Structure 1
């Protein structure tokens, strides 16, 4: 009897194995991520680190925040391929570009609250990290209506400026007579120092310098490598009170409304981290460009004016500050409060330590 039971059990198990060999295991397939196509226009060449690193990483950050539900198919429009930097904001409003980024200085007067950060001496940053976070905090503090035409994604900045020249400058007096490529926000201070400033977009600088239209440039160090300005200039002096360029990143409102709600939430969720990482990336490439310039044949010399030189500049900056407060007041805005807010925020974040970024 016992042997029969064992034999039946063996036959039963053998039958199960035989039947199981014909049954495929049930695999629950993961849903494929939904592809969302988004056009993105910017003001740099396609090989610039902003496209290669900053914004590529940003859009991956957004995808990650959706837990893989969406994949962003970015259609890139670098400088000169769709719309110019000074027309980009209006282009986004009109839907010519679905999204993009440009500098405040390309549209002076368009963003009075945020443009406060670009004014000489009001909120000079120590680095790109502090500048980016300050811009985000200033926007959250005042929620300016100047960006109501678009969906703001985040802000970032170049950090403090350097004045690149063909000859060494030992004193602020040496600026007199220079033909400087400047921006709208620092033309006045250069004129006060006896320079001949000319405003132009970055893409025009190389040719202008070759033709002798300008013999110097105010910009962050990254342009020495990314825009090949190290081929034009051999000296750079630190001028943080003169300039720091800030940038907006925005999306067309109709495009924004067309996105699924959870994808919108993902964009909002990563905004602060995107600004922080952008600051760290810009800081990395500014340092890298300085090393690049130093390594060229003949080298490149970086210097700083003595602290005593800046006392006279403060007297030049004071009326610029007062005039900007008056401008904000004329637009029905609390000028003094906005300017003081920008200064205090930058002072706060200038004291912070930031983790360096590496590719």
Structure 2
């Protein structure tokens, strides 16, 4: 009997000791809904890096769990608003009419890479665009772009007249404006569908950055990439969280997460997409894809300059109801992007 009492006391003492040494906080999981292939820069680099930053900044109190979303990426804005995920990212062009302002960075001829464009977009968003409340129901913690978009085709393109009538995948946003002006048959689809569409002959080509030669394996289903000077367009994305999730955090953790987001996150995302473009370029070359660099003196360059005339003003007029100084914001964005020097 004494032995049983002694054993019971030992168990209680051990349990009490374990309780005293247990962490004094409960771990918060920040669930990220993502899309695109695992090898895309966003999933291979950006989310894992940010997850590490968040965990370190909050001293382990907040950990990021990345989950693949199987739906159309346009639904992620709503899914985060509804709390299905705590955070995500998506492409503005997938939701026509709602996110007009970030497309400021998509206008042709910016002539920079994704890091410079992403930093410029974030700064201009903070200064000029944020108060227009296009992201009502979401808290934006980053903005970024992919690298310059190019024309990926099965057949060679010597002039824009060669494109007329061709079925070209476009992602929305400024791409749609360009497609209309080029008189192509625009086919809307998320980027991950492009390989299958090209393979099956549903489309003849696509507007996409160079990264996708590797990530989407376009080097297997296209033969040519036509690269215009200064870039044909950029693609704009936002990274966002559910405001209620942020409000429920301890103030110190909310502050810590924001400290590793904003411009720091935007620059890192753009830098990762630039690196992805470089890898895509090498994959295309290795596969024998012909990369045609159009010079400023070529016919296509002159045609393109004529084709894009008036696009800036069209965009400015399209956002008049947003009550922002769009013309000044566009000038400042280009100035920031073209003078940007990455931190060493």
- The TM tier, using the shorter chain, reads 0.7 to 0.9
Measure the CA separation in 1 of the matches of 2:192 and 2:306.
33
Check if 1:226 corresponds to 2:218: no
Check if 1:314 corresponds to 2:302: no
- Please tell me the root mean square deviation across aligned C-alpha atoms, in Å: 2.3
User: CA 1:69–1:191 in 2, change beyond 3 Å: closer, same or farther?
Assistant: closer
- C-alpha displacement at 1:112, in angstroms? 2.1
- C-alpha displacement at 1:85, in angstroms? 0.8
Out of 241, 251, 254, the residue aligned to residue 244 of structure 2 is 254
> Equivalent residue for 1:169?
157
User: What SS class does the counterpart of residue 329 from structure 2 fall into?
Assistant: helix
Check if 1:109 corresponds to 2:97: yes
The structure having more radius of gyration, on CA atoms, is 1
- C-alpha displacement at 1:119, in angstroms? 3.2
What per-residue deviation string (whole Å, max 9, x for no partner) do you get for residues 52-109 of structure 1? 321111111122223x2424041x23241xx421111122111122211111111122
Measure the CA separation in 2 of the matches of 1:241 and 1:294.
19
Measure the CA separation in 2 of the matches of 1:344 and 1:110.
26
User: What SS class does the counterpart of residue 234 from structure 2 fall into?
Assistant: coil
Check if 1:128 corresponds to 2:128: no
Check if 1:263 corresponds to 2:249: no
Out of 251, 254, 274, the residue aligned to residue 265 of structure 2 is 274
1:95-106 → structure 2 map (5 Å cutoff): 95-106=83-94
Measure the CA separation in 2 of the matches of 1:343 and 1:200.
29
Measure the CA separation in 2 of the matches of 1:43 and 1:69.
26
Measure the CA separation in 2 of the matches of 1:34 and 1:69.
10
Out of 49, 53, 62, the residue aligned to residue 57 of structure 1 is 49
What per-residue deviation string (whole Å, max 9, x for no partner) do you get for residues 107-163 of structure 1? 122122212212334xx2421111211111111211232123211111121111121
Would you say the 8 A contact 1:113–1:338 is kept in 2? no
Relative to the length of structure 2, the TM-score reads 0.84
Check if 1:304 corresponds to 2:268: no
Check if 1:194 corresponds to 2:186: no
- C-alpha displacement at 1:316, in angstroms? 2.5
- C-alpha displacement at 1:178, in angstroms? 2.4
- C-alpha displacement at 1:233, in angstroms? 0.5
1:322-337 → structure 2 map (5 Å cutoff): 322-337=313-328
- C-alpha displacement at 1:320, in angstroms? 2.1
Measure the CA separation in 2 of the matches of 1:218 and 1:54.
23
User: What SS class does the counterpart of residue 146 from structure 1 fall into?
Assistant: coil
- C-alpha displacement at 1:37, in angstroms? 0.8
- C-alpha displacement at 1:229, in angstroms? 1.4
- C-alpha displacement at 1:176, in angstroms? 2.7
> Equivalent residue for 1:84?
72
Check if 1:294 corresponds to 2:285: yes
- C-alpha displacement at 1:253, in angstroms? 1.2
User: CA 1:306–1:125 in 2, change beyond 3 Å: closer, same or farther?
Assistant: closer
Measure the CA separation in 2 of the matches of 1:353 and 1:153.
20
Which consecutive residues of structure 2, in runs of 5 or more, have no partner in the other structure? 1-19
Aligned length: 318
What per-residue deviation string (whole Å, max 9, x for no partner) do you get for residues 244-282 of structure 1? 112111111111111111111111111222222222211
Check if 1:139 corresponds to 2:129: no
Which consecutive residues of structure 1, in runs of 5 or more, have no partner in the other structure? 1-27
